[in-house]
Structure 1
């Protein structure tokens, strides 16, 4: 299945990174998915997030966020997100449900076929690179 990976360094003015900042990192890691949706004529909006905080994160910890397409329904799809620290320890696990909507009417629409096909592919999703490849054809 398709996935994205983002590497960051945790930043905070304190020793401990609060959970709201970690939640923001998860959103940043979904940007490729939002962009890919728009490239395919829909907008993806978050309708549900379930987050489990497993370990503390401290200032300047190096983090890796893996976002994986887990399943697809009629008008929504689910991403699994894990944040792992520099010691390869799971620090955050999340499940995010996004629904696809028409950008003009703001009404739900079926998940585009291009997103559905990502479930079958073992690849890193890079919307910018995909766009360049499509333009070159």
Structure 2
């Protein structure tokens, strides 16, 4: 399975980090997937997101978000995401369905073969820039 990882430190002006901010961290963790799709000539847009929250996060907590390709369809693919603290405790998990669209016409298009190929690779998706 191809995956990506994002390490970050939670920041808030309050002691407790809101679930909305955790949702934003999941989005930040998908950036490499968005870039990869753009490099393949399509844009990936989120059409469904489901998040389960397990533990609280506080200001300055260190977090790791791992995202991996779970399924590929004709015009969409599914990423699974898991957020953990540095102790390995699960903070939250997400399932995200992304649809691929033509960047000019903004109409759904087939998922590129390069994305399909990632489903059968065991590697980290990293920026090639």
TM-score (norm 2): 0.98
> Matched residues in 1 for 2:122 and 2:57: separation?
30
Aligned twin of 1:29: 29
Q: For residue 89 of structure 2, what is the aligned residue in structure 1? A: 89
User: Which residue of structure 1 aligns with residue 62 of structure 2?
Assistant: 62
CA positional deviation for 1:99: 0.2
Higher helix share: 1
1:135: which partner in 2? none
- The alignment partner of 1:20 has SS state of helix
SS in 2 for 1:79: strand
Show the 5 A alignment for 1:52-131. Answer: 52-126=52-126, 128-129=127-128
SS at match of 2:63: strand
User: 2-side partners of 1:69 and 1:106: how far apart?
Assistant: 23
- What is the Cα deviation at residue 108 of structure 1? 0.4
SS in 1 for 2:94: strand
Stretches of structure 1 lacking an aligned partner (at least 5 in a row): 133-137
Query: Which consecutive unaligned segments of at least 5 residues does structure 2 have?
Result: none
Other-structure match for 1:44: 44
How many residues get paired? 129
Distance 2:112 2:52 in 1: 30
For 1:50 and 1:17, how far apart are their aligned partners in 2?
Answer: 19
Residues in 2 aligned to 1:73 and 1:106: alpha-carbon distance in whole angstroms: 18
Shift of 1:87: 1.6
